[in-house]
Each structure stands twice: as C-alpha cells, then as structure tokens.
Amino acid sequence: MSYSEVITPVPVPSWAAPILSERGGEAVLVNAYPLTDTNTHSYRTDSSYFYLVRIPRGVVSYSIWVYNSTNQTINVQAIGNVTNDQSYPDYVIGSAYSVGSGDSDMYVLSSESALTPFVSVQVSASTAPTSGAVYAVVIVE
C-alpha cells in the first residue's frame, strides 16, 4: 500500500496542489480553516477542516508546514493518537509554537522522540482573528 493511499483524507485542495506535487509523501492536516475565535480547534471539533492522518511505519522524521493567513498570530500544537476512530484521547507531540499573521513555518519532528501512528494539529489564537484562514500539511521523507 502506498503512503498516499493510506493517508489521503480528502481530495487535494487547489491551494495545496503546488506544495504536494513537489514532495513524495504528504497529507493535508488543515484545509483552509476560517479561525474566528480563541477556542482550541482540531479534527475532533472541526472535522470538515482538520484531519488525523497515518504516519507510515519506518518513517525517520516528518515535517508539519503551517500557513497562517489570518490577521492574528496563531498557536499550533502537534497531536497524535494510537487510532483514527476517536476511541482514545489525543496526546501532544513536542512543544507548541506560534505562527505570525501572514507567515508560514515548517516544524520537523523526529519519530524517535515523537513516534505516533496518527498525527494532526490543534490550532488556537490568543486574539480572535477577523479574516483569513489556517492551512497545514504533514510531509514525510
């Protein structure tokens, strides 16, 4: 089974096509989420925008790319789970990080310190954004 067959949760959105066509193994984690409050959002609260995706066995490291087009700084926390059916609680992977308004950042996580069968992100803002959206992709090498 190929990596893309395992993790593709939705058709690739048009904004992600240029990013994903240049890489070998990727999946969308957040598809243009219109963040407008200070609550914490994830695949559990907003499943139309957030996805929990499988990390294939044997992966040494993976990266999470986040683009914040909102007008406020956002907080991002990588999360994992042992299943994809929401039967167990999520756990945090690494430290939370901030992505400034209009910025993008890439965070590399080692499977030695963050081994997880499934990965996603939680997103929040300290000040509620009034425009823009949040995007995220996981990239596996």
- β-pairing, 74-81 vs 118-125, is antiparallel
Rounded to two decimals, the pTM is 0.82
pLDDT the model gives residue 91? 94
CATH number, domain of 53, equals 2.60.120.380
CA max distance for the chain? 43
Find the domain containing 63 and state its range: 3-140
Q: Which residue has the higher pLDDT, 79 or 18?
A: 79
CA dihedral 113, 73, 23, 55 (to 10 degrees): 40
Average pLDDT on 64-73 reads: 95
pLDDT in tens, 80-135: 999 989 899 999 998 999 999 999 999 988 877 677 889 999 999 999 999 999 99
pLDDT in tens, 10-48: 455 555 554 444 445 678 899 999 999 999 999 999 999
Asked whether residue 8 carries a pLDDT value surpassing 60, the answer given is no
Edge-to-edge strands of the sheet including 53-54?
53-54, 118-125, 74-81, 91-99
Cβ–Cβ < 8 Å for 63, 107: yes
pLDDT in tens, 103-118: 999 998 887 767 788 9
Average pLDDT on 48-75 reads: 90
Domain count, the chain: 1
Cβ–Cβ < 8 Å for 33, 122: no
